[in-house]
Amino acid sequence: MAKKYPNILFFGIDSLRSDHMSLYGYDRLTTPHIDRFIEEDGVVFENMYSPSIPTTPGYASMLTGCDCFSTDCVALRHEGPLTDAVTTLPEILKKYGYTSTYIGGHSGRGFDNYLTYPDWNPEKADKINEVILPELDRLAEQDQPWLLFMRHMDPHSPYYAPKPFDRMFYENDEFDPKNTSLRECYSFKPFRDYFLSWFPEGCTDAEYIVAQYDGSVAYMDSCINRVLVRLETLGLSDDTIVVFTSDHGETLTDHHCYFDHHSIYDNCLNVPFCFRYSKFPYVGRVPDITQTKDIVPTLLAVAGIEDCGVKFDGRDMTKVFTEGVKQQPEFYITEATWMRKHGWRTPEWKLIEALEPDFHYLPPVELYNLIDDPGELHNVAEENPEVVKFLHDRMMAHIAKREKEVGHENPMYTNLNWNGFGRPFESSDEAYNTLHIGDPEAAQKLQDKLEAMGVTE
C-alpha cells in the first residue's frame, strides 16, 4: 500500500514582519489565533531571515529551497520566467502524488491550479477566504494529498484595517495639526502621491498608520482562524502540515523608508517561520538562524519525503531536534526594488554596500554593530574601516564561490533593469526624480490641503 503523505496548508503571507506578531513577543496582541494554534504543539523559528528583498526573490527562495544565485532572481521586476535550474515545491510534490493550488498574485511555477482574488482592495483577508474555503472543501474530497499555497496581502500597503481593527491599537487624534510625524513622509516625492491615495485625508500622525498595519495583521489573523476552523471541521487537522512565513518584512517609520519594504535593514529581513503538524514529534522554539531557503527542505522532511533528488541550498531544520544542523550565522543580503544594494550580515555586524546611488541619498557604505545598535541607527563605517574591509572580503569570497558553483555571474550585477529605467542611476538626484508611484494629479489636491494645514512645511 502506497504511503499517504500529509497535506500542506501554506500561508505565504506578504510583508509580515515577525516583530509585529504577538507570537514573536510583540506587545500588541496582533496574532492571537495563530499564537494559540502554534503554541499548543507547533515549532517556532525565532530568527528567520528572508535575505533577498523584495517579493519576487523572496517567493522564489521560499518555493525552491534555493538562494538568489541558484534562482538567478534578485529584482522585483525580474525579467523572464524562473530558471529551469531550480525545481519548485509543487513540482517536487507532484512526484509523490500531490495536487497543488496557488491563491493570489505573483504565482510560483508548477502548481496545478491558480486562483485569484481582489488582493489590493479593502478586506483582503475576507476576499481571499471566499476563494480558500471552497477550495479547501474541494481538496477535502480527493484521495491525493494536496498543497494549498495562499498569499495573504493584508500587511502589504495600502493597509486597510476594517472596523473595529482600525482603532484597535490607536486611541489618539490622527488629525492633530500639532503632530508633525508625517511631515517628512509627505515631502518624499517618489512615494508621496501613493501615500496620499490611501492615507486618511489630513492625517498627521505616523503612529496612526503604524496602527493600521498592526490592525491589518490582527484582522488577517481573525480571518485565518476561519481557515483553521474549517480545516478542523473537515477532519483534516491531524493529516495536514500548517506553515506560516513571509517573503519579507516591512518598513513602517524605520530608516525614513516609510510604509514599504525597500532596504536591507533587519525590519525588512526578519520574517516569521513556524509550523504545526500533530505527527511531528517535537515542539518548541528554535533560536538558530534560518533563511527562506530552508523552508522547502524542512517541510519535505516533516512530510516524510526523503532524498527527493533535488539539490537545495537550504537545510533541513528538523535536524536541530535530532542530529543537529550546522549553523550559518553569516549570510549574503540583497535588495533590488527601489534601491540596488547588497551586503553581509553576521551576528555582530551588518555591512551594506550600494551598487548605485539611491533615492534616499544614503552613503555608499553602511556599517552597523548589531549588538550595540540593534536598530541599525548609527552608521559606524568611517570609524571601523578594518571591519568594513573584513566583511567586504567575506562577502566577495562568498559571491565568487557561489558564482563558480552555479556557473553564472551574480544576478545583482547582471539585472541592470531592476528599476524599469533601463540602466543604473548615475546620481541620487536622478533616482529621486525618476522613481515614482501613485497618481500625481489626484494627490496634488490633497497636497494643497495639507500645505494649507502646515503639515508639509
Q: What is the mean pLDDT of residues 166-177?
A: 97
pLDDT score, position 443: 44
Cβ-proximal residues to 356 (8 Å cutoff; 6+ apart), any chain = 340, 424, 425, 426, 431
Using DSSP, state whether 24 is helix, strand or coil.
Answer: helix
pTM to 2 decimal places? 0.94
pLDDT at 453: 46
Report the pLDDT value the prediction gives residue 82, as an integer from 0 to 100: 86
Region for 84 from its dihedrals, namely left if φ exceeds 0, alpha if ψ lies in -120 to 50, beta otherwise: alpha
Q: What is the pLDDT of residue 105?
A: 81
- Residue in this structure with the C-alpha cell 495563530, named with its chain if needed: 34
Residue 447 pLDDT grade (very low, low, confident, very high; cuts 50, 70, 90): very low
d(Cα 384, Cα 324) in Å, to the nearest integer?
35
The region that residue 312 occupies, defined by phi over 0 for left and psi between -120 and 50 for alpha, beta otherwise, is beta
| Pairing of β 365-369 and β 340-345 | unpaired
Tell me how far apart the alpha carbons of residues 358 and 364 are, in angstroms, rounded to a whole number.
9
3-state helix, strand, coil in the chain (%, to 5): 35, 15, 45
By the 8 A CB rule, do 132 and 116 touch? no
Instruction: Give the pLDDT score at 456.
Output: 45
Q: Please classify residue 381 by burial: count the beta carbons closer than 10 Å to its beta carbon, then call 0-12 exposed, 13-18 middle and 19+ buried.
A: middle
Per-range mean pLDDT, top range of 72-76, 232-236, 449-453: 232-236
Residues whose CB falls within 8 Å of the CB of residue 324, separated by 6 or more in sequence, listed in order: none
Of all residues in the chain, the percent with pLDDT exceeding 90 is 84
Q: Which of 99-108, 261-270, 310-319, 403-412 has the lowest mean pLDDT?
A: 99-108
326 vs 41, residue with greater confidence: 41
Hey, what's the torsion of the CAs at 53, 57, 61, 67, to 10 degrees?
-80
- Show the domains of the chain with their CATH numbers: 7-318 (3.40.720.10), 333-453 (3.30.1120.10)
Lowest-confidence segment of 192-201, 302-311, 437-446 by average pLDDT: 437-446
Can you tell me the mean pLDDT for 335-363? 97
Residue 303 has pLDDT above 90, yes or no: yes
What pLDDT does 81 receive? 81
Give SS3 for 150.
strand
Residue 260: its pLDDT value, please? 92
pLDDT tens per residue, range 228-266: 999 999 999 999 999 999 999 999 999 989 999 999 999
Stretch among 5-9, 27-31, 98-102, 453-457 having the lowest mean pLDDT = 453-457
CA distances from 116 to 64, 106, 217, 273 (A): 22, 10, 20, 24
Q: Looking at residues 301-314, what average pLDDT do you find?
A: 94
Mean of pLDDT over the chain: 93
Q: What confidence score (pLDDT) does residue 5 get?
A: 96
CA dihedral 150, 285, 57, 20 (to 10 degrees): 70
As beta bridge partners, residue 271 has 48
Among the residues of 303-454, which ranges form H helices? 385-406, 411-414, 428-434, 440-453
Given a contact cutoff of 8 angstroms between Cβ atoms, the answer to whether 216 and 161 are in contact is yes
- 440 — pLDDT class (breaks 50, 70, 90): low
pLDDT tens-digit map of 101-145: 999 987 689 999 999 998 788 889 999 999 999 999 999 999 999
- What strands lie across the sheet with 52-53, from one edge to the other? 52-53, 331-336, 340-345, 349-354, 365-369
Cell numbers linked to 83: 530558471
CA pair distance 108, 59, nearest whole angstrom: 8
Q: Would you place residue 452 in the very low, low, confident or very high pLDDT band (cuts 50, 70, 90)?
A: low
Sign of CA dihedral 56, 62, 67, 70: negative
> CB neighbours (10 Å) of residue 343?
25
The average pLDDT across 58-85 equals 92
Other CB atoms closer than 10 Å to residue 269's CB: what's the count? 24
pLDDT digits (tens, 9 = 90+) for 199-224: 999 999 999 999 999 999 999 999 99
What grid cell was written down for 72? 538567478
pLDDT of amino acid 2? 60
Closest CA to 34 of 14, 11, 15, 58: 11
Distances (CA, A) of 302 to 69, 316, 319: 26, 9, 10
Q: How far apart are CA 332 and CA 343, in angstroms?
A: 6
What is the grid cell recorded at 57? 526573490
Mean pLDDT score, 2-27: 94
d(CA 416, CA 349): 28
